[in-house]
């Protein structure tokens, strides 16, 4: 550290919380999310004596107001929670297929996929899980009253918050002529019918009223009574299939985390129905077998190795993973074992790209409207929460009476039984549609511990790229000891088995490296940005929380106190 940087670092510690370059330091707790106002909401809860779970719940409700592209009460997600003593659990609040769903619901009578109906129709909406998940997390592990956690979001919805430039981009798109989504057109207009403008207060009174019912009645405020009745009525009127019974039956589930290790660190992440944790551990195990003293970061050899590691994990993901309540014999232990990694590693040719065989397995891109938040409180408890609507603004549909947007998560199921294509569409059994089944996810909320205590809290949006951006960020911190903002900002690659190509963030690969990789048999595609990581590291010796929000989310923020 040069003297100027050292001086700023210590000054920031004296002030307890100060933005220094891309990092924020604090002594008492930290919240990092894709909207700074929502991070501040979480920190207010910490200041009131709430723990990390309380702050995460309040931040998530707030994001449903401030970041409606992904923050939600109409979607679903996952929480990984580690106590200061190192005990870990997870909460699965993934959406479910409705009772009336079938594995051919998106096919015509010749077995062909009807347009994009699995992503883009009212039948793409899964039974939402967010309210049940946040409620369960609070009931089991929160400290403050439920109403205290929901109230800030109600205030932001009813009193308004300043409309921002990112929202304006969406507002212009959804209010342009030819827009197919009437709900979204009305959503972005003010009381006089004009399109909202930056800094204008954006009020969402209907959403505020829905949140009031959730505040007063807890989970039942969403899944029973007035809201459930209105959802079912709206579904019926618009050709949807979610009923009051679907809502009444929805339950969030506490599950054991997927665990692994890298050197002296322990890694905890989300088990199925997310594929994220299994793939992350498998890739970290494979990377542990390479000699990193001899492989320079981002060199041709490095990119080749990382792409081959990703290719293998994504092939296994496609073959084996789905909802654990429907797939009772998934080989999770094997996929996350060191012995399996050794076999997989030995089959990597360091001079040649393998070929992804489309007659076997692979995956398409998902939408990337997911968002992640990381929280640590002053006791050292940590929450890693990722939740989603699937595409940006999900289904882009909702009941005007209720004021929130529904997900289009049914698109995460394999749509055509038995059909796997080189473009990445897969048809394997573990992730076919069935009534009440949870669709396979890539969300990878993760916590790494050092000496048994939370050390790194991390996650990202980005569809299937989530797994790989979280993997590379975790690897950057654990192997290269990168500080959290550097690890997040470091340019990344993505390979997902099928399509068989490396996607790289622009400017990551020099022309020479690109040529060398192509000569090895890789296909390369440049891409603007991968992921939007939100992370915290904790140094127990200095008692310093360090937070960083990915610069790809200009409204995001790490806030500490």
| Residue with Cβ nearer ligand GLY (156 or 441) | 441
Q: Smallest gap, in angstroms, from Cβ of residue 346 to ligand GLY?
A: 30
Ramachandran assignment for 263, one of left (phi > 0), alpha (psi -120 to 50 degrees), beta (any other): left
Burial bucket for residue 18 (CB in 10 Å: 0-12, 13-18, 19+): middle
Identify the active-site residue in 66, 130, 301, 370.
Answer: 370
Q: Smallest gap, in angstroms, from Cβ of residue 274 to ligand GLY?
A: 7
Pairing relation of β-strands 524-527 and 502-505?
A: parallel
| Residue with Cβ nearer ligand GLY (399 or 441) | 441
- Residue 388 CA: distances (Å) to CA of 7, 78, 144, 152, 326: 40, 9, 25, 21, 22
> What residues line the site for ligand GLY (CB under 6 A)?
366, 370, 388, 390, 409, 412, 441-443, 463
Q: Smallest gap, in angstroms, from Cβ of residue 364 to ligand GLY?
A: 11
CB 439 within 8 A of CB 413: yes
Strand partners, 548: 535
Q: How many residues make up the chain in this entry?
A: 561
Q: State the sign of the Cα–Cα–Cα–Cα dihedral 228, 214, 377, 159.
A: positive
Residue 502: partners with Cβ closer than 8 Å, 6 or more residues away: 303, 307, 493, 494, 495, 517, 522, 523, 524, 525
Distance of CA 54 to the CA centre of its chain: 19
CB 487 within 8 A of CB 473: yes
| Residue with Cβ nearer ligand GLY (364 or 443) | 443
Q: Smallest gap, in angstroms, from Cβ of residue 405 to ligand GLY?
A: 14
Q: Smallest gap, in angstroms, from Cβ of residue 354 to ligand GLY?
A: 25
| Residue with Cβ nearer ligand GLY (463 or 560) | 463
Distance CA 241, CA 238 (A): 9
For residue 135, report the phi and psi dihedrals to the nearest 5 degrees: -65, -45
Q: Smallest gap, in angstroms, from Cβ of residue 317 to ligand GLY?
A: 11
Ramachandran assignment for 86, one of left (phi > 0), alpha (psi -120 to 50 degrees), beta (any other): left
Q: Smallest gap, in angstroms, from Cβ of residue 411 to ligand GLY?
A: 8
Half-sphere exposure of 557 (CA within 13 A, CB side): 19
Distance CA 417, CA 426 (A): 8
Q: Smallest gap, in angstroms, from Cβ of residue 389 to ligand GLY?
A: 8
| Residue with Cβ nearer ligand GLY (243 or 442) | 442
For residue 132, report the phi and psi dihedrals to the nearest 5 degrees: -65, -40
Retrieve residue 304's tokens. 């080749």
The closest residue (CB) to ligand GLY is 441
| Residue with Cβ nearer ligand GLY (138 or 438) | 438
In the annotation, is 351 catalytic?
A: no
| Residue with Cβ nearer ligand GLY (75 or 557) | 75
| Residue with Cβ nearer ligand GLY (243 or 388) | 388
Q: State the sign of the Cα–Cα–Cα–Cα dihedral 454, 460, 466, 470.
A: negative
Q: Which residues are catalytic?
A: 370
């Amino acid at each position: 550290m040069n003297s100027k940087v050292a001086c700023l670092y210590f000054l920031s510690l004296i002030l307890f919380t100060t933005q220094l370059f891309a990092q924020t330091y604090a002594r008492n707790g930290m919240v990092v999310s894709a909207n700074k106002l929502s991070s501040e909401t979480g920190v207010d809860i910490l200041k009131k004596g709430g723990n990390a779970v309380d702050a995460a719940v309040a931040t998530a409700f707030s994001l449903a107001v401030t970041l409606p592209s992904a923050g939600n009460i109409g979607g679903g997600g996952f929480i990984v929670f580690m106590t200061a003593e190192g005990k870990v659990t997870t909460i699965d609040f993934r959406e479910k297929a409705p009772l009336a769903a079938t594995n051919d619901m998106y096919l015509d009578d010749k077995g062909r996929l009807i347009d994009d109906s699995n992503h883009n129709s009212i039948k793409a909406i899964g039974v939402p899980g967010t309210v049940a998940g946040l409620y369960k997390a609070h009931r089991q592990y929160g400290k403050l009253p439920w109403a205290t956690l929901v109230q800030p979001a109600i205030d932001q919805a009813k009193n308004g918050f300043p409309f921002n430039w990112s929202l304006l981009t969406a507002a212009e798109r959804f209010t342009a002529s030819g827009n197919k989504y009437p709900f979204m057109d009305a959503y972005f207009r003010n009381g006089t019918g004009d399109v909202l403008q930056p800094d204008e207060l954006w009020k969402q009174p209907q959403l505020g009223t829905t949140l009031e019912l959730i505040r007063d009645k807890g989970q039942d405020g969403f899944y029973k009574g007035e809201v459930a009745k209105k959802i079912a009525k709206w579904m019926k009127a618009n050709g949807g299939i979610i009923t009051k019974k679907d809502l009444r039956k929805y339950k969030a589930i506490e599950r054991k985390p997927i665990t692994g290790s890298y050197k002296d660190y322990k890694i905890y992440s989300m088990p199925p129905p997310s594929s994220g944790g299994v793939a992350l551990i498998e890739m970290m195990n494979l990377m542990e077998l390479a000699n990193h003293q001899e492989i320079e970061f981002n060199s041709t050899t490095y990119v080749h190795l990382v792409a081959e590691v990703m290719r293998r994990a994504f092939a296994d993901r496609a073959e084996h993973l789905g909802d654990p309540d429907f797939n009772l014999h998934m080989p999770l232990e094997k996929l996350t074992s060191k012995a399996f990694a050794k076999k997989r590693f030995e089959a990597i040719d360091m001079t040649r790209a393998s070929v992804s065989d489309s007659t076997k397995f692979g995956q398409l891109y998902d939408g990337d409207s997911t968002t992640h938040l990381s929280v640590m409180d002053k006791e050292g408890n940590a929450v890693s929460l990722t939740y989603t609507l699937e595409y940006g603004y999900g289904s882009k549909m909702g009941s005007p009476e209720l004021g929130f947007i529904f997900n289009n998560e049914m698109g995460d199921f394999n749509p055509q039984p038995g059909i796997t294509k080189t473009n990445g569409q897969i048809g394997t059994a573990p992730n076919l549609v069935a009534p009440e089944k949870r669709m396979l996810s890539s969300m990878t909320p993760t916590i790494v511990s050092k000496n048994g205590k939370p050390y790194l809290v991390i996650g990202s949006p980005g569809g299937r790229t989530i797994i790989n951006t979280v993997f590379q960020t975790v690897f950057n911190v654990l192997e290269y000891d990168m500080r959290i903002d550097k690890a997040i900002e470091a340019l990344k690659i993505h390979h997902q088995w099928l399509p068989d190509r490396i996607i790289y963030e622009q400017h990551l690969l020099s022309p020479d490296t690109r040529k060398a990789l192509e000569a090895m048999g890789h296909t390369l595609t440049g891409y603007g940005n991968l992921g939007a990581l939100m992370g915290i590291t904790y140094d127990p010796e200095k008692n310093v929380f360090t937070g960083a929000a990915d610069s790809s989310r200009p409204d995001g923020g790490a806030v500490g106190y």
